[in-house]
Amino acid sequence: MKIEFFRHNIGQDDIDRVNEVLRSIFLTTGQVVGEFEEGFAEYLGARHAIGVTSCTAALHLSLIALNIGPGDEVITTPMSFCATANAVLHAGARPVFVDVEEETGNLNADLIEAAITDRTKAILPVHLYGQMCDMKKIRALADRYRLKIIEDAAHSIESSRDGVKVGELADAACFSFYATKNITSGEGGAISTNSEPVAETLRMLRQHGINKGAADRYTKRYEHWDMPLLGWKYNMDNIQAALLIGQLRRIEDLMQQRDQNWSCYEDALQGIADVRLLKTLPGVRHARHLLTALVPPEKRDALLWGMQNRQVGVAVNYRPIHLLKYYRETYGYCEGAYPVAEDIGLRTISLPFYPSLDEATIRNVSQIFKEELH
């Protein structure tokens, strides 16, 4: 039987909650979204949360709300999903990559300063696989150069580092509820911020730049609305929010199950020749989003095909962004530009990882991994 790469955790309660929305008259952004946003902000310890249609949309709107656009540079990591850098391009700005740490794959905070120019407006760190970047160091640097911080927290709703929660030191933090993320509505995203004006701008920007939401127009009497800004159509709807509310309540339980599965994998994979796991640094609460192993580059692709032939779902997170065709051709990037990210990109393989995996399956996957590697 196939061992899936990912299985979501939608249960009957979640389905019931969606049904309730479907039987109501109001499907789009309304009370259920408001309820989710409130719970999400509370979980994060943030003042505001704004529900949108994806993390890509969240990143795009955050950049716009923080006045980042044409002529500006945003420092980010090449070791991420292409959405991170694409959002910078959507905003009309230019992503400037900085290489990552060998031990964690996270943006190397010690290399950021050398990449700052007169045009740099923001830093966009990604908390890779669920491990937070060194936000204290990055915040200090951002303060010194008057830069904004937007966190790509698509992997790391649950993480903290040295007492700092995800999003706490940022101007905005962006989350994904895409199909394979820790909690999911198929597609979906959110932004957290502690700034009232930024939150207010984001609420308008997610709905064309209109100063009244659909719920206002529906629950209250019709009144004329205006459009002070040019926005996008990125608003989360009640159906998505209904799917998320129950998962948010279970988020710590789900996290605990993944943490157990992580330990199980560590145990099963340790001591295999030529295999290295990334490190969880002291002081980090790792959100345990993706379980990756690093193998010799010359063996990686054969391992990918071999495991898939044996009905085990695997993936690569990630081949570095700067080497994707569009980035190479448009910006002239080539191999050697960010050697640490490139090395991880050639070695990394992601194994099946989600709360409902059991120990026997993890041992089985690890055994197949071992056999196909050698």
Binding site for ligand PLP (CB under 6 A): 54-56, 80-81, 83-84, 126, 152, 154-155, 176, 178, 189
Tokens of 269: 């994979």
Q: Which is nearer to ligand PLP, 9 or 84 (CB)?
A: 84
The answer for residues whose C-beta is within 8 angstroms of residue 347's C-beta and 6 or more apart is: 276, 294, 295, 296, 297, 300
Q: Which is nearer to ligand PLP, 56 or 193 (CB)?
A: 56
State in angstroms the smallest separation of the CB of 149 from ligand PLP.
Answer: 15
Q: Which is nearer to ligand PLP, 341 or 373 (CB)?
A: 341
Q: Which of 255, 240, 284, 324 is nearest to 27 (CA)?
A: 240
Residue 123 has φ and ψ, to the nearest 5°, of -115, 135
Q: Which is nearer to ligand PLP, 166 or 264 (CB)?
A: 166
State in angstroms the smallest separation of the CB of 244 from ligand PLP.
Answer: 13
**β-pairing verdict for 48-52 and 73-76:** unpaired
Q: Which is nearer to ligand PLP, 150 or 362 (CB)?
A: 150
Alpha-carbon gap, residue 72 to 60, rounded angstroms: 14
Residue bearing tokens 């903290």: 160
Catalytic, 181? Answer yes
Alpha-carbon gap, residue 50 to 352, rounded angstroms: 31
How many other CB atoms are found less than 10 A from the CB of residue 362?
24
State in angstroms the smallest separation of the CB of 185 from ligand PLP.
Answer: 10
Give the strand order in the sheet containing 160-161. Answer: 164-165, 160-161, 284-285
Q: Which of 195, 250, 323, 262 is nearest to 43 (CA)?
A: 250
State in angstroms the smallest separation of the CB of 369 from ligand PLP.
Answer: 23
* 274 and 295 Cβ atoms separated by less than 8 Å: yes
Alpha-carbon gap, residue 234 to 115, rounded angstroms: 32
How many other CB atoms are found less than 10 A from the CB of residue 373?
20
Alpha-carbon gap, residue 296 to 166, rounded angstroms: 32
State in angstroms the smallest separation of the CB of 253 from ligand PLP.
Answer: 22
Q: Is 115 exposed, middle or buried (0-12, 13-18, 19+ CB in 10 A)?
A: middle
State in angstroms the smallest separation of the CB of 302 from ligand PLP.
Answer: 26
State in angstroms the smallest separation of the CB of 76 from ligand PLP.
Answer: 10
In which region does residue 112 sit, left (phi positive, over 0), alpha (psi from -120 to 50) or beta (all else)?
alpha
Alpha-carbon gap, residue 217 to 194, rounded angstroms: 27
205: three-class secondary structure by DSSP = helix
Q: Which is nearer to ligand PLP, 17 or 155 (CB)?
A: 155
Q: Which is nearer to ligand PLP, 242 or 368 (CB)?
A: 242
Single out the catalytic residue among 121, 148, 165, 181.
181
Question: Could you list the active site residues?
Answer: 181
